[in-house]
Amino acid sequence: MAGKALLFTREDNVAIITLNRPEAFNTVSQELFEELSEHQRAIEQDRSIRAVIINANGDHFSAGIDLNMLRQVDSQHILENLTWLQNLYGRWQEWPIPVIAAIHGLCYGSAVELILGCDIRIAAEDTRLSIPEVRFALSPDMGGTTRLTKLVGSGQAKRLIMGCEEIGAAEAFAIGLVEIVVPREKLMERAMKLAKKMTSLPPVAINFAKKGINMAADGSVAAGLLFEQAQSTFCCGTEDQKEAIDAFLQKRKPEFKGR
């Protein structure tokens, strides 16, 4: 499946969404938003997809929002569209499957907000990240102030957003903005290795693990523990749980059915 702004491919049960406007530094446009929404709907309807990787063609992941598009935006447009746009970048968190961002080169502004909505961020060593909306008399509005703060803390978020500072992959790893750093030539290999490992594990357990971690990040300890009780009550005794134990004891590859 291919559009003008994005490519959609798959390797086994891993879907790959590729930003595909390298001649324009993969800048984020209305066209990208619309195609991304279409791909998300397609993934949601295909239960054979067990993980997603978001990457980019060309020398850079994305230089952020297309400034020509930004010049046409007014308060009425924001009022009518921003909730949909915020949901677009946050939709990954509603899914029972992992979403991995594989980043290289420049990753600016709206592109940083895109990867913040993913579950795991893998960066090539040449990655440069910046969230410079304040420079353009704006503040991040698609999860930037919220998700970045949860990942790196308020002090680092203020430095990056209010100071419009650019950081490299090593510093991004040190402050918790990305989880893995690899040489550029190993980027997709590492992302695919992690994605395939996750797809080999019991789907129900992956689903509950993701939900539990999200709840821990957003809620109280009491709420998180209550969720753990509920998910454990469900998981213990499922077909996949029994299969996982039997396969381990019998030294064979398990066959999970998602139930």
Residues with catalytic roles: 113, 133
Angle at 134 between CA 132 and CA 137, to 5 degrees: 130
Tokens of 27: 């800048």
CB-CB contact of 170 with 181 (8 Å):
yes
CA distances from 114 to 89, 181, 197, 236 (A): 6, 18, 23, 35
Contacts of 236 (CB under 8 A, 6+ apart): none
Angle at 92 between CA 226 and CA 54, to 5 degrees: 140
Q: Give the H or E element holding residue 8.
A: strand 6-11
Contacts of 100 (CB under 8 A, 6+ apart): 51, 52, 53, 54, 118, 119, 120, 121, 122, 191, 194, 195
Angle at 34 between CA 31 and CA 36, to 5 degrees: 105
